[in-house]
Every structure is written in C-alpha cells, then in structure tokens.
C-alpha cells in the first residue's frame, strides 16, 4: 500500500508540474494581451475576438485586471513558475514528508488560494463585466485541476494542509518556501521590468493630460464658442458655474476627470452645471464609435448611464461590447443599432470635433469653467478651489 501510495504521489507531483506549465502558457498569453491593452490596440485572435459573451477585451481593460497595480496575468505567470520549480526539484523523504510547508503542501495551499480568487473573478466577469474571457476561464480550470493534483501529491485534503500550516507557522521559513519565493519574485521582477507600465510610457497625446497649474490659460473665451444648447448636461441651466468638457471615452485621464466631475456634481448640486462634448482622437477609431454610442443612448435619455459604462470599461468599445452596454442600461437594441451607424450620430460627434478644432484643442480632457480654459485631469481639491472662486465672483 505504501508503494502504491508513493507511486500515486509521484504521478500527482508530475501532473501538478504539467498543470503549472499549462497555466504558465495561458498566463503568458494574457500578459501579451495586457501589453496590447497598454498600447491602446484592439485585441486580436480567434479566442479573444468579441463573440457575444466570450471576449478578452472587457476583462483585460477592467479594474480587476490588476491587483495592487500588478497585472493579474503577471502574478499568474510568477505563481505557475514557482509551482513548477517545486514540482521539479522536490525530493521527498519519509522523515520530512509530514512537514506542513513541504513542496506538495505549499502547492496545495497556493492552488487553493488560486481557486478562491478564480471564483471571485468568475463572478465579477459574469455579473459585472457581462463577459467570459476564454484564457481567464482556462486559468480557472487550471487552478481547479492543480488543486486536485497537488492534494493527491500532498496525500491529504487542503483543509488539513492549511490547519497544519497554521499550527506550525515557524516551519514556514525553510528551503522550499525560499525556492517558491525566489522563483515567484524573480519572474515578477523580470516581467515588471520588461512590461514597464503606463506611467513609464510616453503614450499618445491624449494620455499626457496630467494637470500642471502653469499650463492653464488665463484668457477668457466667449460662451458661444464652446457651448451648445443640446449638449448632455447635469445641473440647471442657470447655475452660477458651468463646466464644459471636451472628452474622449478611451482616454484614461478623461476617465479620471469624469470621476472627479461626478464628485463635483454631488457636492455642489444646483450651483454647478456640467456639459459634455465629444472629441475622439483620430488615432483611436473606437473613440468615435463610443461617442456615437453615448449620443444614441442620449436619444433614449440614458447618456450619462452609457457615459459611465464607457469609461468603466475603456477602451473596450468594440461593436459587441457597445451592444452589451446598451442592453445593460436598458436601451432599445434595435433603435440603438440603427442610431449607431446613422448620419445624425456621426454628424453630431463631428460637430463637437469641429468646435474643438476651432478652439485649438489638441488633447483631452480639455474643459472650460465660466469661460476659463483648463487641460488635464485636475484633482478634486484644485477643481473645488476654482469653483469656489467662481461662486464668489459670479453675481
């Protein structure tokens, strides 16, 4: 029986290693998709094309694609590499086989954590994003199979492994946890250095919208030059302070400003009117489509609901994604589809673009507060100070 048990554990050990290799390949592909997302490119591939509820774009661009600022895919790649190292180098001996932090036990615990996090991400994908990322789903399955094989390798259930580890925390500091930590950390550091990050990349002009006080123009512009009567708006027409923003849905700084303006609307109520105008950037064709989608939602009285969805999932603005957002906020699908490619939607967006060009706007977000021009995602405290000054000087 002991010989049979030992053989079963050896097979499970190598099976765990194979599972880690499969997970590593899927995670590596997701790292590549994350790089594409940082570059603002649409995601290609048979599995990642938007096909109804199956696509990668919404997941890769969502707030759940990172944990503590690190892409989940990079963490996954580091995790699977560390598990593979444990399976490869493990040389179990009878006298150490019961230690709570031996390779099999470490693999069991970490795969258990992976399964728990997979459940969380799956729930988020289905009920929040409304999509399933095929490669993410593959990793969910990998984690589940890995938990099974590592459990057989350990010779006891995950709950017993975890209890034993909690009872002997001092055993954590041993060579095997060192191997795991070294492999995990090495891959994480290398991947992070290779990938860099949005803050390290120059990016296109619309991504360079960080606020700098010295850049803000002091000149006043006549309202007729930047305001139109049919712009989507929050707040009363006679509000003492009006903010008119020229914005672009794929632009990350525009999303930051949108969140800040939402806070402004809540704090200042009827004292502030916020108006939205479109300025999709030429090198991002999905920006124009997203702007048309917002306009069409506005025809059904749901501009701001679509506005929030577009920024939440930016820049996942492909045709299937837009249909999904429209369904989520309760739009008439037939009317929305007809409007999206209509001349009136294109003309309305182009009208805003032409106005922005006349004003000399080159990047987003650019906005006007009572005729004074500003650019960039101003933080709330700066905006609040400016609004306070306008309220004091406006009759």
Q: What is the DSSP string of 23-41?
A: HHHHHHHHHHHHHHHHTTP
CB atoms within 10 A of CB 363: 20
Q: What is the mean pLDDT of each run of 10 residues along the chain (395 residues)?
A: 73 94 89 66 49 59 75 90 92 61 92 93 78 83 94 90 88 87 90 60 39 48 84 94 94 91 95 96 78 96 96 83 91 94 94 93 92 91 93 79
Residues 235, 254: Cα–Cα separation, whole Å = 20
∠ CA(225), CA(286), CA(227), 5° rounding?
Answer: 15
Classify strands 366-369 and 372-375 as parallel, antiparallel or unpaired.
Answer: antiparallel
In the structure encoding, which two tokens stand for residue 18, read together?
A: 């194979």
Rg (CA), the chain: 26
Residues 143, 19: Cα–Cα separation, whole Å = 8
Q: What is the pLDDT of residue 129?
A: 66
The side-by-side arrangement of strands in the sheet containing 372-375 is 233-234, 272-278, 241-247, 366-369, 372-375
Q: What is the pLDDT of residue 313?
A: 83
What are the tens digits of pLDDT across the range 224-253?
Answer: 788 998 999 999 999 999 999 999 998 888
What are the tens digits of pLDDT across the range 291-338?
Answer: 999 999 999 999 999 999 999 888 778 888 898 899 999 999 999 999
CA trace torsion 52, 132, 67, 201 (10° rounding): -30
Q: Which burial class, exposed, middle or buried, applies to 1 when counting CB atoms under 10 A from its CB (0-12, 13-18, 19+)?
A: exposed
What are the tens digits of pLDDT across the range 354-373?
Answer: 999 999 998 899 999 999 99
In the structure encoding, which two tokens stand for residue 75, read together?
A: 């963490």
In the structure encoding, which two tokens stand for residue 140, read together?
A: 């969910």
Closest CA to 325 of 308, 338, 340: 308
Phi-psi domain of 370 (left: phi exceeds 0; alpha: psi -120 through 50; beta: other): left
Q: Which burial class, exposed, middle or buried, applies to 212 when counting CB atoms under 10 A from its CB (0-12, 13-18, 19+)?
A: exposed
Handedness of CA 368, 349, 344, 275 (dihedral sign): negative
Task: Read off the pTM.
Answer: 0.59
What does CATH list as the number for 2-200? Answer: 1.20.1440.130
CB 209 within 8 A of CB 375: yes
CA trace torsion 263, 268, 271, 277 (10° rounding): 0
Q: What is the pLDDT of residue 39?
A: 54
Q: What is the pLDDT of residue 2?
A: 63
Q: What is the pLDDT of residue 211?
A: 45
Closest CA to 103 of 131, 75, 84, 118: 84
Residues 362, 364: Cα–Cα separation, whole Å = 7
Q: Which burial class, exposed, middle or buried, applies to 381 when counting CB atoms under 10 A from its CB (0-12, 13-18, 19+)?
A: exposed
CB 324 within 8 A of CB 131: yes
Q: What is the pLDDT of residue 300?
A: 95
Residues 39, 147: Cα–Cα separation, whole Å = 35
Residue 67 CB contacts under 8 Å (≥ 6 apart), including other chains: 75
CB atoms within 10 A of CB 233: 19
Burial 32-55 (b: 16+ CB within 10 A, else e): ebbbbbbebebbeeeebbbeeeeb
Residues 276, 232: Cα–Cα separation, whole Å = 6
CB 109 within 8 A of CB 99: no
Under CATH, what is the fold of the domain 212-393? Answer: Glutaredoxin (3.40.30)
Domain ranges of the chain: 2-200, 212-393
């Amino acid at each position: 029986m002991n010989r049979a048990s030992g053989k079963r554990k050896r097979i499970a050990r190598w099976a765990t290693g194979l599972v880690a290799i499969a997970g590593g390949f899927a995670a590596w592909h997701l790292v590549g998709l994350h790089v594409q997302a940082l570059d603002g490119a649409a995601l290609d591939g048979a599995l990642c094309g938007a096909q109804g509820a199956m696509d990668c774009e919404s997941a890769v661009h969502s707030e759940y694609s990172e944990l503590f600022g690190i892409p989940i895919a990079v963490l996954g790649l580091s995790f699977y590499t560390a598990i593979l190292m444990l399976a490869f180098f493990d040389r179990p001996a009878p006298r150490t086989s019961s230690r709570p932090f031996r390779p099999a036990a470490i693999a069991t615990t970490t795969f258990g954590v992976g399964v728990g996090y997979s459940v969380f991400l799956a729930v988020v994908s289905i009920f929040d994003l409304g999509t399933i990322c095929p490669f993410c789903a593959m990793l969910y399955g990998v984690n589940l199979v890995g938990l099974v094989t590592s459990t057989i390798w350990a010779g006891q259930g995950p709950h017993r492994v975890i209890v034993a580890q909690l009872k002997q925390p001092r055993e954590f500091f041993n060579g095997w946890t060192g191997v795991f930590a070294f492999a995990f950390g090495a891959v994480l550091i290398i991947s992070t250095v290779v990938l860099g990050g949005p803050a390290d990349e120059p990016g296109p002009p619309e991504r360079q919208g960080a606020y700098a006080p010295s850049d803000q123009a002091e000149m006043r512009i006549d309202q007729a030059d930047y305001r139109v009567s049919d712009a989507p708006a929050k707040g009363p027409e006679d509000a003492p302070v009006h903010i008119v923003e020229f914005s672009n849905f794929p632009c990350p700084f525009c999303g930051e400003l949108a969140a800040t303006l939402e806070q402004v609307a809540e704090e200042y109520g009827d004292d502030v009117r916020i108006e939205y105008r479109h300025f999709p950037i030429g090198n991002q064709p999905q920006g124009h489509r997203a702007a048309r989608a917002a306009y069409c939602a506005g025809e059904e009285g749901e501009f701001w609901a679509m506005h929030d969805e577009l920024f939440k999932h930016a820049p996942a603005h492909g045709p299937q994604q837009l249909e999904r957002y429209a369904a989520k906020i309760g739009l008439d699908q037939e009317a929305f589809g007809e409007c999206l490619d209509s001349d009136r939607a294109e003309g309305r967006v182009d009208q805003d673009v032409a106005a922005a060009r006349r004003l000399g706007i080159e990047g987003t977000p650019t906005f006007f507060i009572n005729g004074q021009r500003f650019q960039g995602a101003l933080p709330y405290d700066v905006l609040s100070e400016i609004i306070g000054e306008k309220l004091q000087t406006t009759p």
